[in-house]
């Protein structure tokens, strides 16, 4: 994989925000084990849904209340019967399991990542 230079204006077109996971349920219809998440991004954006393949590293109970980073301006996409509205950000570990990106401290819900 190669990388390309990216100007700041293009970077700002990707709207990444801080949200808090409100609820977590397994997506029984997914081919790969996934959770259906409801995430609160504060009053400006509200509560959005996301499908996330993070079951290898996270239990449902550990996710509730956790702050995460998500792209909020992708078009909604139906994934295994579930309408995913945002893309929760993560990075694969050495075994390919997705580890969530998060923020330290009490960052306000809806805060923009830049």
55 within domain boundaries: yes
Confidence at residue 6, expressed as pLDDT on a 0 to 100 scale: 87
58 within domain boundaries: yes
Confidence at residue 2, expressed as pLDDT on a 0 to 100 scale: 66
Instruction: Give the structural domain span for 40.
Output: 12-93
What is the tens place of the pLDDT at every residue in 69-85?
999 999 999 999 999 99
- Using DSSP, state whether 43 is helix, strand or coil: coil
61 within domain boundaries: yes
What CATH number is attached to the domain comprising 20? 2.40.50.140
Positions of the chain with pLDDT under 50: none
109 within domain boundaries: no
6 within domain boundaries: no
29 within domain boundaries: yes
Confidence at residue 3, expressed as pLDDT on a 0 to 100 scale: 75
Split into its structural domains, the chain has a count of: 1
In angstroms, the Cα distances linking 10 to 45, 52, 91, 103, 112 are: 21, 25, 21, 23, 15
């Amino acid at each position: 994989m190669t990388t390309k230079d990216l100007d700041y204006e293009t970077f700002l077109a990707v709207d990444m925000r801080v949200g808090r996971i409100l609820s977590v349920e397994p997506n029984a219809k997914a081919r790969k084990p996934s959770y259906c998440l409801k995430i609160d991004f504060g009053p400006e954006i509200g509560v959005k849904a996301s499908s996330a393949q993070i079951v290898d590293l996270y239990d449902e109970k550990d996710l509730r209340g956790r702050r995460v980073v998500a792209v909020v301006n992708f078009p909604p996409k139906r994934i295994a019967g579930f309408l995913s509205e945002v893309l929760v950000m993560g990075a694969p570990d050495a075994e390919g399991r997705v580890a969530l990106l998060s923020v330290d401290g009490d960052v306000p819900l809806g805060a923009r990542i830049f």
